[in-house]
Amino acid sequence: MLKAVHVGVDISGERNVAQFLDQDGNLLRKPFSFSNDSPGLSSFVEVLRDVADSHKPEVMNIGMEATGFYWWHLEERLSEDGFLDVETRVFVINPSLIKAFKKAYTSLPKTDAVDAWVIADKLRFGRLTPVSEKALIYAPLARLTRLRYHLKRAITGEKNRALSLMFLRFSGYKKAAGRRAFNKAPLDLLNELTIDEVADEPIEELVEYVLSHGNSRISNPEEFVGELKAAARRSFRLNPKMEDAVGVALSLTTENIRFLEGQCRKLDSVIARELRAIPQTLDTVPGIGPVIAAGIISEIGDVSRFQSQAALAKFAGLTWHRYQSGRFDAEETSLTKAGNAYLRYYLVEAANSLRLHNEEYSAYYRKKYSEVPKHQHKRALVLTARKFVRLVFALLSKGQIYRTGVVK
């Protein structure tokens, strides 16, 4: 009778390969290949039952990499209670952990069977957390908040492309418009009028244009239009052969931005609705709305799987490398960024909101900002996010509402 059987599964869209090791690293049978569909999963379950009946282990550990969503149906079926007459633990492992572990074996080839063996061997060494039974509670919300993350990245990419096109069409526009560069009225003006028309049109007509297109969101429109006209007179003139092409590209890019922003607004409403089904107190913190709270909660899942706030910070990648050798100990260290990128994104978004709407965190941000001469904003923001992790862990662990100073 074995203490444990470790089963590593190399996942792909069409076929999976499984390897079976005992607690000493011995192969229990030849690799088993099965299709990544319902019949293939049924055949794999039968093999698992044969191995369990033959070797009668105390526990069977089954691990797979989190490769896209190819692992989803396999993990869900294997996590069901009672499909084996032995304790079964299922692990969905970050591929970066397997990649780093495999480097210890310097001469291994790259095959599906070898990769499955490495996963099984990693299970044998331990230090992994099995999938929680509560994970499915948070999974639907995570699909939505991760989609929002990718939409936001797409919007950033489109805006960067638009800024380049703006410079070609109206080189002084970005400096004159500032934070209002992507407001509706200035964008419409940029897309519909030539640079010479902006420079030559009477200021009263441009003010009327801005007011009619911007829903009165531009404060002091006369001053704003004056700055645009002055910038237009100073700006480069684009070669006429490029004018139409740049205009079309800029117009389509701004349409993309507006479409993606509209999708984000729709998604935010759905996320807020889904969050109401999950008991939590993060949105009692001033500056933390339902979308940010949902992004954090959906990635953390069952907070009891983390032993401490430090473990949660490590999971998010909000820890720093230490570089020390002999008597040298580096003062400037880099963020690990080795954890959950989605959780880190929402924690940093939370920090950015907290510095604007929460006096306790605003004071902390300002303190950290003033400590160094370079990278002030990024450093202070990440340190504020790290501080917030302590509060997140306390609120979710205890189920209490936020009170100023409850966690330092």
Examine the pLDDT at 322 and tell me if it is beyond 60.
no
Evaluate whether 320 touches 335 at the Cβ level (below 8 Å). yes
**pLDDT score of 324:** 41
Q: Is the pLDDT of residue 379 over 70?
A: yes
* CB within 8 Å of 55: residues ≥ 6 apart: 1, 2, 5, 22, 28
Task: Spell out the CATH class of 138-273.
Answer: mainly alpha
- Mean pLDDT, the chain, rounded, equals 91
Q: Quick one: pLDDT at residue 329? A: 43
pLDDT for the residue numbered 323: 46
Residue 404 has pLDDT above 80, yes or no: no
Residue 114 pLDDT greater than 60, yes or no: yes
Q: Are strands 59-65 and 4-10 parallel, antiparallel or unpaired?
A: parallel
pLDDT digits (tens, 9 = 90+) for 291-306: 999 999 999 999 998 9
CATH code: domain 4-131 is 3.30.420.10
Question: Looking at residues 6-35, what average pLDDT do you find?
Answer: 96
Residue 320 or residue 235, greater confidence = 235
Task: With a cut of 70, say whether residue 104 has pLDDT above it.
Answer: yes
pLDDT-derived band at 321 (thresholds 50, 70, 90) equals low
pLDDT confidence of residue 328: 41
Quick one: tokens of 337? 């960024």
Q: Are 274 and 144 in contact (CB under 8 A)?
A: yes
**Quick one: 261 exposed, middle or buried, by C-beta within 10 A (0-12, 13-18, 19+)?**
middle
381 phi and psi, to 5 degrees? -65, -45
Q: Per-residue pLDDT averaged across 208-216, rounded?
A: 79
Q: Could you tell me the pTM of the whole model? A: 0.85
| pLDDT tens digits, 84-101 | 888 999 999 989 889 999
Task: Note the pLDDT of residue 338.
Answer: 73
pLDDT at 216 over 90: no
- In the chain, CATH 1.10.287 covers 138-273
- SS3 letters for the chain? CCCEEEEEEECCCCEEEEEEEECCCCECCCCEEEECCHHHHHHHHHHHHHHHHHHCCCEEEEEEECCCCCCHHHHHHHCCCCCCCCEEEEEEECHHHHHHHHCCCCCCCCCHHHHHHHHHHHHHHCCCCCCCCCHHHHHHHHHHHHHHHHHHHHHHHHHHHHHHHHHHHCCCHHHHHHHHCCCHHHHHHHHHCCHHHHHHCCHHHHHHHHHHHHCCCCCCHHHHHHHHHHHHHHCCCCCHHHHHHHHHHHHHHHHHHHHHHHHHHHHHHHHHHHHCCCCCCHHHCCCCCHHHHHHHHHHHCCHHHCCCHHHHHHHHCCCECCCEECCEECCCCCECCCCCHHHHHHHHHHHHHHHHHCHHHHHHHHHHHCCCCCCHHHHHHHHHHHHHHHHHHHHHHHCCCCCCCCCC
Q: How confident is residue 210, by pLDDT bands cut at 50, 70 and 90?
A: confident
More confident residue, 337 or 38: 38
Question: Cβ contacts of residue 192 below 8 Å, gap of 6+?
Answer: none
Rounded mean pLDDT of 256-268? 97
Percent of the chain with pLDDT over 70: 93
Beta-strand relationship, 328-329 and 324-325: antiparallel
HSE, side-chain direction, 13 A CA sphere, residue 33: 9
End-to-end alpha carbon distance in the chain: 51
The pLDDT of residue 333 is 62
1 pLDDT tier (thresholds 50, 70, 90): low
The answer to whether 98 and 117 are in contact (CB under 8 A) is no
Above 70 in pLDDT, residue 199?
A: yes
Backbone angles phi, psi at 17, to 5 degrees: -125, 130
Query: How far is the C-alpha of 60 from the C-alpha of 82, rounded, in Å?
Result: 13
User: Is pLDDT of 332 > 70?
Assistant: no
Residues carrying CATH 3.30.420.10, the chain: 4-131
Query: Is pLDDT at 393 greater than 60 in this prediction?
Result: yes
The residue written with tokens 């966690």 in the block is: 407
Q: What's the rounded Cα separation, in Å, for the pair 363 and 218?
A: 30
